[in-house]
Amino acid sequence: MLGRPTKYNKDVCQKAIDYIVNYKEYGDAVPLIDGLALELGVHRDTINEWTRVHEDFSDIVKILKTKQSRTLKNGALNGTLKERSANLFLASQHGWVTRSEQEVVITDERVKHPDIIHLVAEPLPEGITDAQLCD
């Protein structure tokens, strides 16, 4: 049994490039796989399948994801996108991990830090044994 004929043709790549360049005109704040799918009249699963099957289309989707990442980062930095939203999107779509580090500085004089003492045994003088030290 054969499936439906594919909608993939030479115009798909050109339409995809147009979407990436003009995503705002299509109503998206950032370029999206879902936005691309809707503009091409297919489901996102079809986009994923075409990405696996067609190398030229795969390259276009990689460009979309790169532009998406750049748009999110710049939007968070310049305030045109909410930083929290951009971070969540980058984490879910691009594998980013947000970390925070804290430095703790103690200025209280009462806090004592143990001194490190190095004990080094010197060799016993000639003619003296361990047993003679205990006498």
Q: Residues 66-98, buried b or exposed e (16+ Cβ, 10 A)?
A: eebbebbbebbeeeebeeeebbebbeeeeebee
Contact 6, 30 (CB under 8 A): no
pLDDT tens digits for range 9-66: 989 999 999 999 999 999 999 999 999 999 999 999 999 999 999 999 999 999 999 9
Asked if residue 118 is part of any domain, the answer here is no
Asked if residue 62 is part of any domain, the answer here is yes
Distance from C-alpha of 57 to C-alpha of 70, rounded to nearest angstrom: 20
Contact 30, 75 (CB under 8 A): yes
Question: Whose CA is closest to 73, among 86, 91, 63?
Answer: 86
Structural domain of 63 = 10-94
27: left (phi over 0), alpha (psi -120 to 50) or beta: left
pLDDT tens digits for range 60-74: 999 999 998 888 888
Asked if residue 102 is part of any domain, the answer here is no
Tally of domains within the chain:
1
DSSP-assigned states of every residue in 2-32: --PPP---HHHHHHHHHHHHTGGGGT-SS--
Asked if residue 106 is part of any domain, the answer here is no
Asked if residue 87 is part of any domain, the answer here is yes
